[in-house]
């Protein structure tokens, strides 16, 4: 049996990141071109860039804060795949998020 495979292609669109792929009838696996890992056609995964993926597409797996108090800053935590919003002068003091985009 021949394994037909393809690479996911990256396209950056506004606030979200997407991958678009072309499917073939005999495909059993696909490759995430970020991590170079192989996945079964019907599977779902989160890659090292915090993208939620399947063999058809990937998109951001997190929300991006766009409205929060002016004395706060938004910082992305790559280990938890989420933004933390905290006081600019005190990282231990979390701030409210009034609006976010994505996920």
pLDDT of residue 103: 73
pLDDT per residue over 49-72, tens digit each?
999 999 988 998 899 999 999 999
pLDDT of residue 87: 98
pLDDT of residue 24: 55
**Which residue range(s) make up the domain with 40?**
1-60
Residue 71: how many other CB atoms lie within 10 Å? 11
Q: Does 48 lie in the same domain as 31?
A: yes
Q: What per-residue string of b and e applies to 37-69 under the rule 16 or more CB within 10 Å gives b?
A: eebeeeeeeebebbbbbbbeebebbbebbeebe
CATH number for position 94: 2.20.25.590
Q: Domains in the chain: how many in total?
A: 2
Q: Does 71 lie in the same domain as 55?
A: no
Question: pTM to 2 decimals?
Answer: 0.64
Q: Does 68 lie in the same domain as 38?
A: no
Span 65-85, mean pLDDT? Answer: 96
pLDDT per residue over 2-36, tens digit each?
222 333 333 233 333 445 444 556 788 998 988 98
Q: Does 4 lie in the same domain as 39?
A: yes
pLDDT averaged over every residue in the chain: 80
């Amino acid at each position: 049996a021949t394994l037909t495979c393809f690479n996911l292609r990256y396209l950056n669109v506004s606030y979200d990141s997407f991958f678009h792929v072309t499917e073939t009838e005999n495909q059993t696996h696909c490759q995430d071109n970020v991590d170079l890992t192989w996945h079964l056609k019907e599977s779902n995964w989160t890659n090292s860039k915090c993208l939620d993926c399947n063999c058809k597409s990937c998109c951001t797996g997190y929300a991006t804060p766009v409205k929060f108090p002016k004395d706060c800053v938004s910082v992305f935590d790559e280990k938890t795949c989420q933004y933390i919003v905290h006081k600019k002068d005190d990282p231990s003091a979390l701030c409210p998020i009034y609006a976010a985009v994505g996920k």
